[in-house]
């Protein structure tokens, strides 16, 4: 299992995961100050998913030959779509923070869209591999992609979950582009995306509010701009070396979701600029090794699947970090392998396991 995998990538994943658990434990102290019962619950859940569920997901991803997903790509995608649609089913759906993004199964909550990310990349990768020579005909290139993207868009925007939707669309778009899409098809898709984004702003007032907050963070600092301002205060107060692990002040009743979307701000406050640079470098190593694996994979499906996984992980990290630094609008995307969220953590580790499995076929390993 470990003989031919990309060991640099594997070690980097373990380092990020280990460091993520340390930062999560520190950030969770902010929860302890408010609710002791919730603190023990989230810590237990994170440890279970990271050390047990996450390890199993990583090993499964590493073990199953990636070509298995090519054979069953459309079944995997359709199943993931139906699974994600369960967020609208009464009795299963959990409404939280103005969105239907979770389903409750017993004492656990799952976020099905985390499964949909990889499922759509698999489907687009398989389609591009099989029909690339026919992409000049829109019936084999653009139309199937638009149908799949349309189904994903409908489910994701009804929840709504624009952050995850952006990750799914970005990764599938890159796969479609690398997989052989024609220039006219790409220009058409970009135009449709612009029109769709303008339409979303018109029908979803909260999106316009976030854009306004992005361009004017001093507006409504006790309302819509609260999270961004508290994040900037946290990161800024960390300075060069940080306050020290466990010493964050902003995680106590200031930062919303200190163990979730805002965990990077806690990280910046406690380990400072130099620590943040190290984390960014680690994600950069994941991206670089993933790109190399994609470049030297033995077949087209492996190349496309690898690049799709890289975009999923790196785009999430970029969106989360960019949101906390104020260089991107807030989108509610977790930091991969660090933020609280059992489904997201297991999904990320499984995706990276698949990437490691592809690395076994690379001529560079």
Contact in structure between 358 and 295 (CB atoms under 8 Å): no
Residue-wise pLDDT tens digits, 217-264: 667 666 667 788 888 888 988 888 889 888 888 888 788 888 888 899
Q: pTM (2 decimals)?
A: 0.92
- Rank 44-48, 163-167, 214-218 by mean pLDDT and report only the highest: 163-167
> pLDDT of 133-165, one tens digit each?
888 888 888 889 999 999 999 999 888 888 899
Angle at 359 between CA 176 and CA 6, to 5 degrees: 130
Average pLDDT over residues 62-69: 94
Rg (CA), the chain: 20
Res 223: pLDDT: 64
| Range 269-278 average pLDDT | 92
Beta bridge partners of 109: 104
Question: Are 163 and 331 spatial neighbours (Cβ–Cβ below 8 Å)?
Answer: yes
Q: What does the pLDDT read at residue 107?
A: 66
Confidence of residue 363 (pLDDT cuts 50, 70, 90): low
**Residue 358 has what pLDDT?**
95
The pLDDT score that the predictor gives to residue 361 is: 83
Q: Does 205 score more than 80 pLDDT? A: no
Whether 306 contacts 174, CB under 8 Å = no
pLDDT at 141: 81
Give the model's pLDDT for residue 1.
57
User: What is the model's pLDDT at position 111?
Assistant: 86
Q: What is the largest CA-CA distance in the chain?
A: 60
pLDDT in tens, 285-305: 999 999 999 999 989 999 999
Q: How far apart are CA 173 and CA 186, in angstroms?
A: 9
pLDDT recorded at residue 78? 95
| Predicted pLDDT of residue 255 | 82
pLDDT at 129 over 90: yes
Residue 98 confidence (pLDDT)? 65
């Amino acid at each position: 299992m470990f003989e031919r995998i990309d060991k640099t990538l594997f070690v980097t994943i373990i380092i990020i995961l280990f460091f993520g658990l340390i930062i999560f434990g520190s950030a969770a102290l902010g929860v302890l100050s408010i609710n002791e019962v919730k603190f023990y619950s989230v810590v237990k859940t994170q440890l279970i998913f990271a050390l047990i569920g996450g390890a199993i997901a990583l090993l499964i991803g590493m073990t199953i030959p990636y070509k298995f997903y090519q054979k069953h790509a459309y079944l995997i995608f359709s199943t993931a779509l139906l699974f994600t649609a369960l967020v609208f089913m009464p009795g299963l759906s959990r409404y939280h923070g103005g969105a239907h993004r979770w389903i409750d199964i017993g004492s656990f909550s799952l976020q099905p869209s985390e499964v949909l990310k990889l499922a759509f990349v698999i489907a687009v990768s398989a389609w591009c591999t099989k029909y690339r020579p026919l992409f000049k005909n829109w019936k084999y290139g653009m139309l199937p992609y638009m149908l799949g993207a349309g189904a994903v868009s409908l489910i994701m925007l009804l929840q709504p979950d624009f952050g995850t939707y952006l990750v799914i669309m970005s990764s599938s778009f890159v796969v479609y582009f690398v997989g052989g899409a024609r220039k006219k098809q790409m220009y058409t898709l970009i135009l449709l995306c612009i029109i769709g984004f303008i339409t979303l702003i018109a029908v979803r007032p909260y999106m316009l509010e976030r854009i306004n907050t992005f361009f004017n963070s001093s507006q409504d600092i006790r309302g819509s701009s609260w999270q961004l301002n508290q994040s900037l205060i946290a990161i800024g107060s960390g300075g060069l070396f940080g306050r020290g692990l466990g010493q964050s002040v902003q995680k106590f009743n200031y930062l919303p979701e200190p163990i979730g979307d805002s965990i990077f701000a806690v990280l910046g406050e406690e380990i400072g600029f130099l620590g943040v640079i190290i984390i960014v470098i680690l994600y950069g190593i994941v991206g670089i090794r993933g790109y190399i694996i994609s470049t030297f994979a033995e077949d087209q499906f492996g190349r496309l699947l690898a690049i799709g996984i890289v975009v999923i992980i790196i785009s999430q990290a970029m969106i989360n970090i960019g949101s906390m630094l104020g260089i991107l609008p807030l989108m509610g995307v977790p930091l991969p392998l660090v933020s609280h969220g059992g489904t997201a953590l297991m999904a990320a580790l499984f995706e990276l396991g698949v990437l490691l499995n592809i690395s076994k076929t690379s001529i560079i390993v």
